[in-house]
Amino acid sequence: MMLLRSLIAAALLAVTALPAAAEKLSLAEISRYLNDLQTAQGAFTQINDDGTIDTGTIYIKRPGRVRFEYAAPNPALVLAGAGSVAVFDARSNTGPDVYPLKQTPLSIILDNNVDLTRARMVVGHTSDGTTTTVTAQDPDNPEYGNIQLVFTANPTELRQWKINDDAGGTTTVVLGEMRVGGSISNRKFDIQSETRDRTNR
């Protein structure tokens, strides 16, 4: 348990050990930042609902695409593309579990046009003097859960998010150093291609 607490503390250090007295970011500024964010990749740390921790590499290509490559010993891979989310488990030979992207809170930041000023989308907007936290949901389907986004300012950067899903689970993703911009192949987000590749191994 002490080791687990130490790992969680290390994962959150990137957010907690930041300059103080940052201004509260407006919803318009955060929306602008997300819309300007086209591609990004870097390390992430994931804190799961049961307290376990995973690490890996994340690739983002807006709109609508994200890839979570988990580091060993976790054999999982999560892809979002073409309106769907696929969860691959190397221990299974039945193919990925696939869900509509629009039914997950992650779709809010992967949308083609992020507008956090939309009525009933944001249900929380706070600042602790260091970071700005926005809690957003699908205003037409709040039962899908919500996503809590944590940003720093000067420049505006997304540092972590926490997804509270429709089943009552919570998953936190802490972003490491991200390389923004550059080209990322669409194939990294192609669920059908990934399925074929894994079938042929």
- Cβ–Cβ < 8 Å for 173, 51: no
Predicted local distance difference test score (pLDDT) of residue 90: 74
The pLDDT value given to residue 21: 57
pLDDT digits (tens, 9 = 90+) for 162-201: 999 988 999 999 999 999 999 999 999 999 999 998 887 7
Pick left, alpha or beta for residue 129 (phi over 0 → left; psi -120 to 50 → alpha; otherwise beta): left
| Inter-residue contact 148 to 133 (CB < 8 Å) | yes
| Alpha carbon distance 20, 17 (integer Å) | 9
pLDDT, position 5 = 41
**pLDDT score of 6 more than 70:** no
What integer pLDDT is reported at residue 94 of this predicted model?
A: 76
Domains and CATH numbers, the chain: 20-199 (2.50.20.10)
pTM score: 0.87
Cβ atoms of 173 and 152 closer than 8 Å:
no
Q: What is the pLDDT of residues 98-121, one digit of tens each?
A: 999 999 999 999 999 999 999 999
pLDDT tens column, 108-161: 999 999 999 999 999 999 999 999 999 999 999 999 999 999 999 999 999 999
Tokens of 85: 């989310």
The predicted structure's pLDDT at residue 8:
44
Whether 92 has a pLDDT exceeding 90, the answer reads: no
Residue 51 neighbours by CB distance under 10 Å: 11
**H-run or E-run covering 27:** helix 27-36
148 SS3 class: strand
95 pLDDT band, cuts 50/70/90, is confident
